[in-house]
Structure 1
């Protein structure tokens, strides 16, 4: 059979050389080599096609003086080394020789052999969609800018496992840089939710251990924070700037946490794990604990509840404590326990002669006082009284008693007398006495009454007949001063 084919080729050789075209299954070839399928249509089972030389990688590597454009099919890459002329030979398939090495044969949309995204740049001629289905699309790199979009718009630093937006050299897991792009939306981040997604959130979570084997935090472990960092001294000192940060305060089972507010590198305020808010202290003892000065430029409301405002009081009132567990209250100063509620003063008016053995109310020395509802008050009385004998005869003395009456009932009294002294006649000895009484709510009438024990006597005397008198009309009047205290 081999001899027959060879003889046929020899017979037709002059013809082939003359036409310079060879046709297989055709008498009129249209190119240097024109192979026409024996059965171009139909359902015949015979094989039509072209079989190129099939060799393994070792055979391809062993070839020498290979003409450029030589085409082969490599059917085995387990032999020979992937080096030298076979440096590209890593899979079974068609290869052509480019004059230096064997190149994998790939046909692109422009029918150019060997040009692909692995060895050449290119331009998309239209929109393209990659439908992955359940097939992953994975890129692996070890470069610092191993994958990027539009320069530094988006960059993957695979060497340090970082992502950069606006930078090809991110300093952290993700860094966003806006370089002179304006001061409006170019510097903003938006998280918009719609419909059932209308609750966008940012979560910062911390754990001990590893991602494959995490473990619970322990008390005092940091959870995360937001920092605001000015560039100073040639860098961004993020841990020394303003910020909001949280620490774990639980036992590894519960979710107790605090929240710290920092400015200028110092912790200024804290909401601890119990909800107490401290300013100037890291250990607030109450729901609001201020360690330092406090300035209030508007009203201060006390009382109320979670849904209603408390009282701002009225002008002149003071804030008083109502004891532990109870809100303080605004009160007028004269309504506070232990303070003076009011002060009163009355004095006698007209002179009155009271015969010996008689008793009479001192004119003008009467006062009416009221204890407000719901209270008790203490009245402190100071009483000053004079009584002189009604005649100017020398050598006679008098005595009697001033009494303090409450609603007609005597509650206190004091002795008084008068006599002569040397060349002076009818010298009254003034008496002063104190009395305190505590009373419940109600209205009370207090008055001074005098009893002349010995000798007729005058109260509220006008001493115009005394030597040296200088218009002192009040000098011998009976006087009452009352201080009213709240209990």
Structure 2
């Protein structure tokens, strides 16, 4: 038996010297060692192949000065320890030596059969294909194209994406024929949604921006370009678009300032109206002094002069004057003259007057003046003056003595 083995070794050695290449089952080796199967085809039951050394883990761990690329087959891991050069030997199979330790050759474990850490970053080129993790009708998919990267989570009744850090959670989900929702829970202190550059944040419905928040903090509803801290555009003329459901015209009045709008629609405070009261200056007399009336000048009716103080802003003055006089004498001349009572403000005649005709001695006449005049703020003097406006035979300059029989004169305004 030993002579046969030596002959084989000698034959191989001689062949290697002659050709520098070794062929087994062939005479024209193409590489350093070229092995041709004894039975490459057919139904022969003889075994073809290479049977490399088989060792247990302890033996592999004990080897010294192992050349790089040495290959072995680990047939038993019950011996030795998973340490040193055997740190990667955790299962039976083919191993090669990389100069430091034994490395598994084409390991059979993968994400479908076992867990384990990655030794480095891995990239999967999908070549336009989708990666799906499927469980029945539910799946998680990673879709990439030349212009789009997309992540999807699909369920028959709910699709959910949950991000967690400790006990803080952000839950994004959508239910079939129901709501879509983004919410935070756990011990998170805030759910912040926004931008980190100078671009607007918009909320839209039915494809249209309904609420816009600009980078300067101004917010608009119904407008994408708000010009105030908050701008509301109702889209309907003369309608603000702001409704206070629980504060209506039937709500009781409380203290505070009233609100109004300026010319551009800004909401501003306006002064609360003061309670309305009437300020009146009046004269009521039946004992005023006699006075003479002629055609040459106006004569102030005794007792009618009064001073009115109008407050800041001015007021509309309501003026009412009723005078009854008795004509005492018959002036020189003949005929019956005409007499006029006219309202004066600050010594200036107004357009408010009344004229009557004198019909003879011991007769009387009535004058009534009612008007409204707007006066500026300050003090004003009001009186009534009489004059003969048509002599009708009466001598010019002759006096008619008038005795007041009754007089009611008042001026009032609303505060």
Give TM-score, length-normalised by structure 1.
0.43
**Higher RCO structure, 1 or 2 (CA under 8 Å, sep 6+):** 2
| Structure holding more strand per residue | 2
Give TM-score, length-normalised by structure 2.
0.49
